[in-house]
Amino acid sequence: MLKARSIRVATEWYKLSSMTNPFNQSAMLKPGMPAPDFTLPDQSDQPVQLSGLLQKGWVALFFYPKDHSPICTTQVCAFRNAYHEFQEAGAEVLGISADSVASHQQFTQSQRLPFTLLSDPNGDVAARYGVLKTFGLIPGRVTFVIDPQGVIRMAYPSQFNAKAHMEKALSLLKHSKGSPTEPVG
């Protein structure tokens, strides 16, 4: 009896783990799709609108799970250390998590971040971009590069390879140099 139950549980877990979207979340947006506009508060509690930033150039938009956590700190510091290169490539960097404005303010100060962090407390913007939660629980880690016309040119999901988010985004921006690119997935 116990063996049959164990096999049944293992079979259900396999079905769940092999599904691309086991928790019925919205599909992640892909390169070539329009980036949904949004307005969210930054670490100074000032509203930031994506469309306003796109009027100035490209945007590297990264979603991350949690301020002050080890992998997230690695990710934001990678973007911080390469920030001048993003600026030279004509791109602004934005980070989004569900953390509060106060948490973002503290995180920005403690890590000396030169770019904007946005607070998405209910995960509404993350949901519109289809940023999936790992195991349906842990907020996702995805980076999008958006061109000035509001088209997604890169979408890179990786929960654990934090530095690659910056590397892939910067590589695309350096190769595009402000010209239209083919979508990169």
Contact 107, 76 (CB under 8 A): yes
pLDDT confidence tier of residue 9, bands split at 50, 70 and 90: very low
Alpha-carbon distance of 145 to 152, in angstroms, equals 6
Active site residue 77: no
Alpha-carbon distance of 128 to 52, in angstroms, equals 18
Domains identified in the chain, total number = 1
**Domain membership flag for residue 41:** yes
Average pLDDT score over residue span 102-117: 96
Average pLDDT score over residue span 15-29: 53
pLDDT at 129: 96
Q: Which of 183, 185, 158 is nearest to 71 (CA)?
A: 158
Which residue segment(s) compose the domain that 161 sits in?
25-176
Out of 53, 60, 72, 94, the active site residue is 72
**Domain membership flag for residue 17:** no
Alpha-carbon distance of 158 to 78, in angstroms, equals 15
**Domain membership flag for residue 36:** yes
**Domain membership flag for residue 13:** no
**CATH number (domain holding residue 129):** 3.40.30.10
**Domain membership flag for residue 4:** no
**Domain membership flag for residue 47:** yes
**Domain membership flag for residue 184:** no
pLDDT confidence tier of residue 11, bands split at 50, 70 and 90: very low
Q: Inform me whether the pLDDT recorded for 85 exceeds 80.
A: yes
Contact 151, 24 (CB under 8 A): no
**Domain membership flag for residue 126:** yes
